[in-house]
Structure 1
């Protein structure tokens, strides 16, 4: 039997919660915790070749891809090299979960149109400040995400026969 005192959510909110729980950084959160993000979220539409943000920009928002495709690129000798293709139901700009971070890559729209849900950094930090459990859950997901990326990087390095020095990462 349902608890008569528990919060009920509108069908649109439940649909958004389902979307959010499919995204790595929100997967551990319950509906009540996800509800904290709803007021901070806004939708932004982009078109092909539009830049969402550039490498070295301040990390001012987390982006959730609702529709379209985005390439995450790095500058390599005046060329943009794609490091990851982001599709519907995925997030990027994850270092906005950290304080005082700068973008490590450039995000460019590659589909004709894209629809992104934007969650500003300041709103995320406010939620973290008032909900330490939410922060802990999301930071655990972020750590797992970075760990997976490190494993991919090291595998790629081993397979490339050392065309660069990993020691450079720590200099």
Structure 2
């Protein structure tokens, strides 16, 4: 079954809704350490998605390079989360995770990169998918973790500014020739 918003694939609809098991809360005993692991996994999945998009649009080097830059930024997000996690005490890591952020992290991890890439038929599909991804759970969890667990105010400010810039790059820095939806629809994905 294709998951679409109108005629375009939607990242948010590729994620299943959270379900409770036998009426119990499956998240009651998940720790901050596990939330960090999920968030790092989601950043790495986003990196994999961007590498997949770079491969699908390798016939347009400026587009492939754009996706590769996004992949590198996702890798950087994962590394920052690892640094923050590694700076926490055992007590902080063993604390129970915020249930809302845990749901967000689980939703981000539920997305199949392969399935998402399979639904990208043209550059407009890719553009819309990335727009959904960059406004999804992955970045909400990243923001939460840096806000609540980074002890250095300068690092928090730097990472939040970097995240804001990262999200906005799709609108501002996408290759000029492909900024219009009609042009993006004419660029077929390969592979």
How does the TM-score come out when normalised to structure 1?
0.34
Structure holding more helix per residue: 2
Structure holding more strand per residue: 1
How does the TM-score come out when normalised to structure 2?
0.31
